Structure 1
Amino acid sequence: MSGMHHASSEPCRVLVLDDEPLILLDLEFAVEDAGCKPLTALDLMEALSIVQNNAISAAILDVSLGQGQTCEQVARTLAAMGVPYVLHTGDLDRMDEAVRRLGGTLVPKPTPAAVVVARALEPLAVRQ
């Protein structure tokens, strides 16, 4: 499956996972502005379900999802599928360990939504 012709027919799909609705909304609009289709999730289970049921091009993952949850399971699933993701977190001190374990591109909060989305889509531009 080559990514050469997907631009014309299929929009890229970007998973956006964040437990803060306002940030999620902001990122959702930025993904649309970038010409992609946002698939949003407020929690881990929702995100895993989206990943299992959709062809994801890239993902923006909030590291800390509240109630002690992190995005680790989603990140590992995406990594196994070869889907690039950025880690978007404002909690670097507490989440440092998780971020180090996961690798990936780190985009600290606050970063403008358009910039976060651009970083998430960077690997796709390289592949074209």
Structure 2
Amino acid sequence: MSEGCRILLLDDEPLILMDLEFAAEDKDCLPLTATNVKEALAHIEASGGVSCAVLDVTLRDGETCVPVARELERRSIPYILHSGDLNRQEGTLASLDAQLIAKPACSRRVVDTALSLATETTRPN
């Protein structure tokens, strides 16, 4: 999976984002980091594309990951949700059909889970 792997990491918390970035690099993946919806959508649009993604649900300034999740779904790119705000985001979480890993969680586990989804979608039938 690692060859050509480009993983989108969306989180507004710098330390969590850095930890996820290091975990992705340890798997020989190119981490594409974003702290807001605009940056994440730009990575998706850029040449080279995205293999999979890890999305924090609640971002700064009232943003959520929903626009990014919808664009990934439109392109059939697998993603997981990584959130510590489970009580306040029940409606948002229910509207997204994605696996959830609650914060705090081991960054290696989070990245491995996203990569396993990408591997499943690229596996020949």
TM-score by length of 1: 0.90
Q: Does 1:19 align with 2:12?
A: yes
Aligned residues between the structures: 121
Query: Which of 59-68 and 118-127 deviates more?
Result: 118-127
Q: Does 1:86 align with 2:76?
A: no
List alignment gaps of at least 5 residues for structure 2: none
Match of residue 32, structure 2, among 16, 28, 39? 39
Aligned to 1:112: 106
Q: Residue 59 of structure 2 aligns to a residue in which SS?
A: coil
Identity %: 46
The CA deviation string for residues 60-108 of structure 1, in whole angstroms up to 9 with x for no partner, is 0000002111000000000000000000000000011101101111010
Aligned to 2:117: 123
Moved over 6 A (4+): none
Larger helix percent: 1
CA distance in 2, matches of 1:99, 1:31: 24
List alignment gaps of at least 5 residues for structure 1: 1-5
- Note if contact 2:77-2:118 (Cα within 8 Å) is conserved in structure 1: no
Q: Does 1:73 align with 2:73?
A: no
Aligned to 1:53: 46
- Note if contact 2:6-2:51 (Cα within 8 Å) is conserved in structure 1: yes
TM-score by length of 2: 0.92
